[in-house]
Amino acid sequence: MAESNCTQVTKFSLTGFTGDPVTQVTLFLMFLLTYLVTILGNLGVIVLIRTSPQLHSPMYYFLGNLAFVDLCSSTVITPKMLVDFISDKKGIAYAGCVAQVFIFDLFGMTECFLLAMMAYDRYVAICHPLVYPLVMSPKWCFQLVTGSYLVGLTNGMGQTISMSSLSFCGSRIINLFFCDISPLISLSTSDTTLSHIILRTSASLFGVSSSLVVLVSYVAIISAILSISSAEGKRKAFSTCTSHLTTVSIFYGTSCFMYLKPSSDSSREEDKWAAVLYTVVTPMLNPLIYSLRNKEVKEALRRLTKIK
């Protein structure tokens, strides 16, 4: 009965990183630079892939969608964080918080599955090269990408439903720099059983299944590479996977740390910096990792920028 008489929170306060003005300015400039690099890098990858015929292959089709997802997920988080660095009041309306949870969880889970599809693509290319054009047909690639977005949409809707079922009548302080479902559950004054079930089910069903695709693919890939007799052949085969492995390690590592840890640890200070890795740093690094380590991308960029 007391729950029905409480005053529902209409606005949340974000703690951010620090209250020191000098440190805030330093972090603002650092994250502003990071965001600019993220925007330019991912837009550059998308434009390069669309305008370069030599990059019209399944691997780059997935990469272009990954760049789009990174662009969207970063834009959901970083601009608001930058505003908070130079604002006295670090607040976000309840409706804005719901929107941030939905969009971020949509693109976050979509990225999980895109990375899994990219691992599957590398598996087919290395382990079954003769049937690669048949298996990774344009229609099948489109279906894989569409499925990734649909899974992301399902996850976003599930987390939004989870949040809408919660009541917030006590503290309105979120110990993070954006609205995330885990700290919101810990702030709720209502029964959080359904929210915990949705969160754990989503993380286990979608997150674990996509990571298993990556794991099984790379077990088969490594086995196939080790069976190659020449050292040069091993090097060339493995070089096509290093960029993806780097991205997967950062993204899955920090995501598992954030969402599969015990709920009692949900307010630790180091969580903020773990969240920075997959919300801010990873979207910036992805285009750099793939462009700096990929000869085809660098060659396409040279052709695009060459003055005739």
**HSE toward the beta carbon, residue 28, CA cutoff 13 A:** 14
Residue 209: how many other CB atoms lie within 10 Å = 13
Which pair of structure tokens corresponds to residue 220?
């088969």
Alpha-carbon distance 253 to 261, whole Å?
Answer: 12
Least confident range from 117-131, 144-158, 217-231: namely: 217-231
Q: Is 105 part of a structural domain of the chain?
A: yes
Share of the chain above pLDDT 90, in %: 29
Q: Is 274 part of a structural domain of the chain?
A: yes
Q: Is 63 part of a structural domain of the chain?
A: yes
**Residues 101, 178 contacting (CB under 8 angstroms):** no
pLDDT of 1 strictly over 70: no
Residue 302 neighbours by CB under 8 Å, 6+ apart: none
pLDDT of 297 strictly over 50: yes
Q: How far is CA 77 from the centre of its chain?
A: 11
pLDDT of 71 strictly over 90: yes
| Average pLDDT of the chain, as a whole number | 83
Q: State mean pLDDT over 239-246.
A: 76
pLDDT of 284 strictly over 60: yes
Q: Is 17 part of a structural domain of the chain?
A: yes
pLDDT at 266: 47
62 pLDDT band, cuts 50/70/90, is: very high
Give the total number of structural domains in the chain. Answer: 1
pLDDT of 262 strictly over 60: no
Q: Is 242 part of a structural domain of the chain?
A: yes
pLDDT at 138: 92
229 — phi, psi (to 5°)?
Answer: -75, -40
pLDDT of 308 strictly over 50: no
**Residues 88, 183 contacting (CB under 8 angstroms):** no
pLDDT at 293: 65
3-state helix/strand/coil string of 96-137 = HHHHHHHHHHHHHHHHHHHHHHHHHHHHHHHHCHHHHHHHCC
Full domain range(s) for residue 115: 11-292
Q: State mean pLDDT over 137-147.
A: 94
Alpha-carbon distance 161 to 96, whole Å?
Answer: 15
Which of 40-54, 138-152, 229-243, 263-277 has maximum average pLDDT? 138-152
pLDDT at 257: 64
Q: Is 288 part of a structural domain of the chain?
A: yes
Q: Is 297 part of a structural domain of the chain?
A: no
- pLDDT tens digits for 75-101? 999 999 998 888 877 788 888 888 999
Share of the chain above pLDDT 70, in %: 90
Q: What CATH number did the domain enclosing 96 receive?
A: 1.20.1070.10
pLDDT of 4 strictly over 80: no
